[in-house]
Amino acid sequence: MEHKVAIKSREVTLLEVLDRVLNKGVVVSGDLVISVADVDLLYLGLKLLLSSVETMERLRGAPFAGAGEEPT
């Protein structure tokens, strides 16, 4: 996509995806729908996210300046 921001860490991408696909989106009620248990991934995810941010800093050897970096 035109403005897709380059998130360079696969970990961060996965966590952003998990935060959305597991916690958000359309939920249809009814017995016929089997949904994944509401894992408290928001909280868990954020802890992991922050730890991955720190990992990224170490890997880059430079202060973290936003995983978004410059838009492509």
Task: Please tell me whether residue 62 binds other proteins under the rule CB under 8 A.
Answer: no
Residues 6+ apart with CB under 8 A from 12: 49, 52, 53, 56, 67
Least distance between other proteins and beta carbon 12 (Å): 7
Residues 17-46 close enough to bind other proteins by CB under 8 A: 17-18, 20-39, 41, 46
Rounded CA gap, 72 and 54, in Å? 23
Distance from the Cα of residue 29 to its chain's centroid: 26
In the complex, which residues of this chain contact other proteins (CB under 8 A)? Answer: 1-5, 7, 12-14, 16-18, 20-39, 41, 46, 49-50, 53, 64-68, 70-71
